[in-house]
Amino acid sequence: MNFLEERIVKDGALKEGNILKVNGFLNHLIDVDITRHMALEFQNRYRGEYITKVLTIEASGIALACMTATQLNVPMLFAKKSASLNVDGDIYSAKCYSFTHQKDNHIFVSKRYLEPGDKVLIIDDFLANGQALLALTDIVRQAGAEVVGCGIAIEKGYQGGGDLVREKGYRVESIAIIDEMDADRHIIRFKGDDNIYTINNI
C-alpha cells in the first residue's frame, strides 16, 4: 500500500451508494502533510513536462491543486460551479454531471485566465465516471490551450472514468486506484494489491 492507500484504510469510510468519505484528511479537514505529499508525487510523475497552469473544479479539488501549483510554481485556476461569477461576461463553460449530487452542473472559467499556449495540469480529488475531468479538458480545448495530463488523488477504477479519459488520449496519474469497494462487506481493494482491507462504514 502507498501512503494514500494506507490513509484511506485508516481514516476513510464507505457510505451507501458507492461513496468513499475522506472528510478527515481530504474533503473537509485538510491534512496539509498528506496534501503536500500528493503534490510532490504529481510533481515527480510530471517531471520534465512544461506546465504553465494547474486547473481544478471547486471546491474539494482546490487544496490539492493549490499545493501542486505551489510545487510547480505556477498559478492555480479553479472552474466555478455557479454562473454568478464575479467576473465579466466572457467565459468558457462545459456541462458536467455530478456523481455526488446526481445532477447536471455547468462549470465556468473566465476567458481572461486561460489562454492559448497554456500547458495545463488538471488536478482533482476523485475520479469516478470521468465527467468532471472531461468537462475540464473541454474547457482547456475551448481556450486553445493544451492538457499536459491529469493528477488524481483517488480513482475509483471500477467506475470506468479513468479508462474513458485515457482512451481519449489524456495522461491520467492517480495516486490510489480502487478496484473494488463494498459498504456491506466493509472492504476495499486497490489496484496492484491482491489484499482486501477492512474499512469503516458511515
Footprint on this chain of ligand 5GP (rule: CB under 6 A): 19-22, 27, 60, 99-100, 124-132, 156, 161
Nearer to ligand 5GP, 41 or 125 (CB): 125
| Backbone phi and psi for residue 62, each to the nearest 5 degrees, phi listed first | -65, -45
- The distance of Cα 43 from the centroid of its chain, to the nearest Å, equals 15
Omega prior to 94 cis, within 30 of 0: no
For residue 64, what is its C-alpha cell? 490539492
- Closest separation in Å from C-beta 57 to ligand 5GP: 6
- Closest separation in Å from C-beta 23 to ligand 5GP: 8
For residue 25, what is its C-alpha cell? 484528511
* Nearest partner of 151 among 160, 143, 163, 162, judged by Cα: 162
Nearer to ligand 5GP, 13 or 196 (CB): 13
- Closest separation in Å from C-beta 133 to ligand 5GP: 6
- Closest separation in Å from C-beta 19 to ligand 5GP: 4
| Backbone phi and psi for residue 118, each to the nearest 5 degrees, phi listed first | -70, 140
Q: Give 74's DSSP letter.
A: S
Nearer to ligand 5GP, 47 or 103 (CB): 103
- Closest separation in Å from C-beta 55 to ligand 5GP: 13
Could you tell me the CA-to-CA distances from 119 to 21, 50, 76, 145, 175 in Å, in that order?
32, 7, 12, 6, 21
Nearer to ligand 5GP, 14 or 90 (CB): 14
Nearer to ligand 5GP, 22 or 72 (CB): 22
Nearer to ligand 5GP, 99 or 170 (CB): 99
For residue 180, what is its C-alpha cell? 473494488
121: amino acid identity, one letter: L
β-bridge mates for residue 13, sequence order: 21, 200
- Closest separation in Å from C-beta 89 to ligand 5GP: 26
